[in-house]
Amino acid sequence: MTTYDFPQDLRDAQLALHQTQSEYEQYATTLPWSAEPMPGWEGDKQLHSGYRPSKPDSPGYTDEQRRQVAAYRSRLLELGNQVLTHPFWETLKGNDLFSARMQLKHLHDIPEPQVEAAA
């Protein structure tokens, strides 16, 4: 497998994109299920499982929650654009381009090997 020598600013932008996406997803789990105030509901009982889907009333997002969601989305858009339009991609074509983009996405999944200091 070919490995690519990604510029440090591209590596940093990709890592920031992953971290921001993770933070946003964690934050989203704390939000009400609806951005606008909505009444709760209860669905019909499922035929074979007996499960009855339902949602409680949603108070909607507070102004602070709306600001925070907008800030996350803005940052994600900025970082995504930075990664996608980086000049490095112009040096590759075809399958190399696809391969490099996939490799960059997973670059931080595995920690880099530690260089042992000489004793």
pLDDT of residue 2: 84
pTM of the shown model: 0.82
Question: Measured between alpha carbons, how far is 67 from 72 in angstroms, rounded to an integer?
Answer: 9
pLDDT of residue 6: 96
pLDDT, tens digit (0-9, with 9 covering 90-100), for 48-75: 998 999 999 999 999 999 999 999 999 9
Collapsed DSSP state (helix, strand, coil) of residue 42: strand
